[in-house]
Chains A and B, each alone.
Chain A
Amino acid sequence: MLLQRKDIRTVKHPVWLPAVTSEVLTVEERTGIGEWNYRAAEGKTMSPESDAAWKRRRSERGTDTIMTPSVRLQEMIRVIRSARTQCEERGIIQRECADIRAQFRQGDNGERSHSLAKLLYVHMLGYPAHFGQMECVRLIASTRYSEKRIGYLGAMMLLDEKQDASLLITNSIKNDLSHSSQFVQSLALCTLACMGSAEMCRDLAPEIERLLRASNSYIKKKATLCAVHIIRKVPELGELFTPSARSLLCEKNHGVLHGAIVLITELCERNPDTLGQFRKAVPELVQIMKGLVTSSYSPEHNVAGISDPFLQVRILRLLRILGHKNDTASDAMNDLLAQVATNTDSSKTAGSAVLYETVLTIMDINSESGLRVLAVNILGRFLLNNDRNIRYISMTSLQKIVQTDHNAVQRHRGTIVDCLKDQDSSVKRRALELSLALVSAVNIRSMMKELLIFLSTCPPELRSHTASGIFNAAERYSPSKRWHIDTILHVLTTAGGDVRDETVPNLIQLITTASELHCYTVHKLYRALVKDISQQSLVQVACWCIGEYGDMLLKGECEEITPVQVTEDDVLDALKTVLQSHMSSPATRGFALTATMKLSTRITENVDRIRSIVSIYGSCIDLELQQRAVEYNALFKKYDHMRAAVLERMPVMDKNSPGHTNGDTFAETIKEPDLPKSAEEGFPSEPASQVYDLLGLLGATDTPLQPSPAPICTPPTSTSSADILDLLGELELTSVPKSTVTVYEKNGVSLKLQCDKQTETDVTVTLIASNSSQSDITNFTLQAAVPKSVQLQMKAPSGNVIPAQGLGEVTQTVLLNNPNKVSLKMRVRMSYSNQGTMFQDTVQIDSFPSTAWNCQPSISPL
């Protein structure tokens, strides 16, 4: 039997999918979970029971009170599990579901609870089970406990607050909350706390408040957590629970006390007045905590020698909120924290959990400096722990304090860098983030060495993050330009496919400014290009440089690099390979074609070859390439006299000023009231503009919604500002200048709004978010709402991460159609997280004046 089963088991399904095939009893499933865990340390292995033995063992106690199995349910499970193919399983389930439906239709025959239980099993296998929703509602209203029990379970699994059926159970829950049996009350409480919608919460809040004052601690503990759920759903109901929450602090029962502390934490975080009120309770909390720490052994709450770590952690967390930025409260808890920090045994997980929480509290309140040192030392000790979990925790916490206590964290740099080499990807990720935060002008060379080694070995999912971290660090602290260029090139050679799009223009800008390194760079890039043409970003930069500085490459006189004689044909061969390679993206080909063209004035002999290469692409199916080729052809034929001027070397591009964000440059350009609107497209009108036109290719590398990075598109002269718009491509000039206005500025995040009237009824609103803070903003999302008569269409955002220090931005376009021409209003909600903290804000833009919506919108507080 077993053998046969093993054969079937060779079909493995590592992923849980709605429909699974042959589910067979495996040896593993019979291994005791608890047993495995307790005995593993002693080196004993569980011998798995046979199928029959499992049944026998279970049936021996089958008649006792613990088991109330529904036989038919277990039979069904057995039949489903014996199915050998996905198809067979589906067939069985279809039959069962039909049966269940029939049972539901029949109404009350004592079988309903079994049928629902069956359905819940089917649901867990991933099959649709929504037809059971009404049955849940009916069973909840039943008078039998067994039916209520499964009914409530079904409600928690099959209903959620979005379904109408959930409204139907509000009344049943209300009745059951005042039921005479505490277990029925408990079912109602549990369900409300699990799936109660805002509406239900509003209706039932008074009942819950009443239960908070009940005498029964079993009900009280559940009611406190139910209150927590209610406040999360409807924050303004917090006031209702505040008085009873205060009195719950005198409770002795750990469950109730735990719930009360969770409730108070929730209240304090939502309301500053409540927070002030509960600061008076700090001495009480300190007393409770002291009681826990010093209490004699109580087996009921003891975990690995720590007395109720769950409660301890909760109290520490509440103390953290109460002591945050408040001296009096912080003073009152200093001694306690010192006591916990020194006396807690951290050899087991429970103790470490308490210590971890203590450290976070110490770092977050106005604690004494000695205590802070102690806390950082604890983290340092954690960092050396053998247990990966503890090291992970340690780095997570160090990350939180690295901004405030930089030097203290810096002391552990060596250990943290070692963690980069850990086997585990979770630990690696933490170590990477911390290492990036620890890079400074002093240690940049040694840290970068480690980071570059890490980049070459790290798991693929971390590569792009590592690369952008390295770029940021290099830009901030590079000791020399040469070093900076080398570092970026190194990243491009190892992880060229995982870098952000703006890397290429940024690097090109850097290279142009370092004029003394042009020769060195072009040699180095040429070699890299010959070696490998698969890394697109590297190839693009290489092509650009060869085009610009091809003459230096051919001269072959470079001090820093062993000279290699490169012939004109070699260079052209290399570019041709790029042009023809299937690995090259259209943008890369564009770079290569322009480079080839530029070489026509930098070399002497092979101009005809260039001419023929260029003319081939005059019939290329890629439109961009074709256009370029046709234009270059014209340059050869019609305008040969000005070819040299057109293909001159690019002027040095300066970034406007350090710290100037791309977004600002972009917005200011748009704001200029009288942009020259002359058609620069007409090719060629004047030599200078053609040079910029060639730049157009650089712009093409960006995705359409991202504005081209500023450094590249900021030419030194003011007359060329229109070219920037040309490069941006997406932003066509209209007769009315667009207005840009900042509607939000907080936590370093600023949101700009730009509206542009397309027709009488259509308006395009562009939202541009940038980030000037020290850390990346993640999970950035925008939501917009408009009056009902207006249609709103949101385009996809350009991303959900805004890099720190203004190094990038997120744009999102909103199209509004206002057929009735009502006065336009818009509400924008943004949410984002900064270093793990979620923020959510709403701005209302009240009037887009009806005469011209593109005037400056006015903003009103909500």
Chain B
Amino acid sequence: MLGNVSSVEVRSPRMIRFLLLFSRQGKLRLQKWFTPVSDRDKKKIIRDITHMVLARPPKACNFLQWRDLKVVYRRYASLYFCCGLEQEDNELLTLELLHRYVELLDQYFGNVCELDIIFNFEKAYYILDEFVIGGEMQETSKVSVAKSMEEADSLQETMEEYLNKPTY
């Protein structure tokens, strides 16, 4: 060796890189990226992953390897909830995390279905932001998220001009 080589061992990575919700027809319903990814790469990742996940037979294992990522997915009715994890993360716990997110959506919308997420996609994002921050789960309690969503909504309501009452 001719000289010292400085080296930094990159920590064993363990965060959620992205969360995707897509339908059985492969249509994207929600996407959240926790690391900077260019638009082109995003499209490619989404295409690859929906392809892979939709091709899986029912009752197959919920984990996949995609490049250097672990993909954890689960189907709820017509929607696939899908997470890209770094190598050292716990896949089983991620399944629980996805399930908790579904529970939170269900609590909020009341028997949530895909249409709720399509027409109120921003709400689904708000709930997610109360639940996960920067690729890490922020709240382990089932109650807190719903409570803070409710308060935030009422804050918005009081500030909202009353021109916009919903008419279905």
Point out residues on A near B: beta carbons under 8 Å: 12-18, 20, 23, 25-26, 28-37, 46, 49, 54-56, 58-59, 61-63, 65-71, 74, 77, 81, 110, 117, 120-121, 124-126, 144-146, 149-150, 153, 156, 160-162, 181, 183, 186, 189-190, 193-195, 218, 221-222, 225-226, 228-229, 254-255, 258-259, 262, 266, 269-270, 299-301, 303, 308-311, 313, 317, 349-350, 352-353, 356-357, 388-393, 396, 423-427, 429, 741-746, 778-779, 831, 833, 836-843, 856, 858-862
Asked whether A29 and B78 contact (CB < 8 A) given A12-B25, A226-B134, the answer is yes
Once the chains bind, are A66 and B122 in contact (CB under 8 Å)? no
Residues from chain A with a CB closer than 8 A to the CB of B111 are 32, 34-35
Chain B residues contacting A858 (CB-CB under 8 Å) are 2-3
Q: How far in angstroms is the closest Cβ of chain A from B69?
A: 11
Which one of B10, B29, B79 has the highest number of Cβ atoms from chain A below 10 Å of its Cβ? B10
Chain B positions 109 through 137: 1 when the CB is less than 8 Å from some CB of chain A, otherwise 0: 11111111011111001100110011011
Could you list 12 examples of A-B contacts with CB < 8 Å?
A: A14-B50, A15-B51, A26-B25, A33-B79, A33-B113, A35-B111, A126-B43, A225-B133, A311-B140, A353-B93, A838-B12, A840-B10
Measured CA separation A22–B60 after assembly (Å): 30
Q: Which of A23, A61, A126, A225 contacts B110 (CB 8 A)?
A: A61
Sample of 11 further A-B pairs with CB below 8 A, known A33-B102, A121-B121, A840-B8: A16-B22, A30-B114, A34-B106, A183-B151, A190-B129, A218-B148, A229-B134, A353-B90, A393-B92, A426-B61, A841-B8
Contact of B137 among A28, A62, A150, A310 (CB under 8 A): A310
Chain B residues engaging chain A, CB cutoff 8 angstroms: 1-14, 22-34, 36-38, 43, 46-47, 50-51, 54, 57, 59-65, 67-68, 76-79, 87-88, 90-93, 95-97, 99-100, 102-103, 105-106, 108-116, 118-122, 125-126, 129-130, 133-134, 136-144, 148, 150-157, 159-161, 163-168
B156 near A145 with CB under 8 A, answer yes
Main SS class of interface, B:
mixed
Do A221 and B90 touch across chains, with their CB atoms under 8 A apart? no
- What residues of chain A lie closer than 8 Å to B152, measured between beta carbons? 145, 149, 183, 186
Question: Which of A393, A427, A859 is within 8 Å of B91, CB to CB?
Answer: A393
Nearest CB on B from A206, distance (A): 18
Cβ–Cβ < 8 Å partners of B97 in chain A: 310
Given contacts A33-B105, A842-B7, A861-B6, contact A28 B92 (CB under 8 A): no
Residue on A nearest B106 in the bound complex, by CB = A34
Bound Cα distance from A310 to B119, whole angstroms = 31
Known: A70-B164, A124-B30, A833-B87. A193 touches B134 (CB 8 A): yes
Q: B92's contact among A189, A356, A425, by CB below 8 Å, is which?
A: A356
**Given known A33-B102, A160-B36, A353-B92, contact A392–B61 (CB-CB < 8 A):** yes
Interfacial chain A residues near B125, Cβ < 8 Å: 153
A16 touches B28 (CB 8 A): yes
Inter-subunit contact B141/A301 (CB<8 Å)? yes
A13, A31, A49, A266 interface centre (most CB from chain B within 10 Å): A31
B149 to chain A, nearest CB (A): 8
A308 contacts which chain B residues (CB < 8 A)?
140
In the complex, what's the smallest C-beta–C-beta distance from A509 to chain B, in angstroms?
32
From A20, A120, A309, give the contact of B27 (CB < 8 A): A20
User: From residue A41, how far is it (CB to closest CB) to chain B in Å?
Assistant: 13
Name the residue of chain B whose CB is nearest to the CB of A32: B111
Contacts of B140 in A (CB 8 A): 254-255, 258, 301, 308, 310-311
Pairs A-B, 8 closest by C-beta atoms: A34-B106, A193-B134, A28-B78, A59-B168, A353-B92, A861-B4, A29-B114, A36-B77
Q: Which one of B106, B121, B126 lies within 8 Å of A120 (CB-CB)? A: B121
B78 pairs with A150, CB closer than 8 A? no
Is B60 a contact partner of A31 (Cβ separation < 8 A)?
no
- Rounded to whole angstroms, the CA-CA distance of A574 and B23 in the bound complex is 54
A424 to B57 alpha-carbon distance, docked (Å): 8
> Given contacts A121-B121, A349-B96, are A426 and B34 in contact (CB under 8 A)?
no
Chain A residues, CB < 8 A from B129: 153, 156, 190
What are the residues of chain A within 8 A of B34 when measuring CB–CB?
194
CB < 8 Å A-B pair total = 331
Q: Cβ of B156 and Cβ of A68 under 8 Å apart? A: yes
| Contact yes or no, A259 B1, CB < 8 A | no
Complex Cα spacing A731 to B50, Å: 44
Chain A residues near B133 (CB, 8 Å)?
A: 189-190, 193-194, 222, 225-226, 229
- A745 CA / B140 CA spacing, docked (Å): 44
**Is the pair A16, B46 in contact by a Cβ cutoff of 8 Å?**
yes
Inter-chain CA distance A742–B8, complex, in Å, is 19
CB nearest to A388 among chain B residues? B61
Report Cα–Cα, A512/B156, bound state, in Å.
81
In the bound complex, do residue B2 and residue A62 qualify as a contact, i.e. CB atoms below 8 Å apart? no
Give the CA-CA distance A389 to B90 in the complex, in Å: 12
Q: Which of B88, B150, B163 has the most CB of A within 10 A?
A: B88
Taking a contact as CB atoms under 8 Å apart, the answer to whether B126 and A32 are in contact is no
**Shortest Cβ distance from A858 into B: residue:** B2
Taking a contact as CB atoms under 8 Å apart, the answer to whether A859 and B10 are in contact is: no
Complex CA distance for A390 and B8, rounded to whole angstroms: 34
Instruction: For B122, list chain A residues within 8 Å (CB).
Output: 117, 120, 150, 153
Determine how close the nearest CB of chain B comes to the CB of A427; give it in whole angstroms.
5
Known pairs A258-B138, A262-B136, A429-B65; A62 contacts B25 (CB<8 A): no
Residues of B within 8 A of A836 (CB): 12, 87-88
Minimum CB–CB distance from B18 to chain A (whole Å) comes to 11
In the assembly, what is the distance between CA of A46 and CA of B90, in Å? 32
Name the one of B3, B6, B96, B160 contacting A309, with C-beta atoms under 8 angstroms. Answer: B96
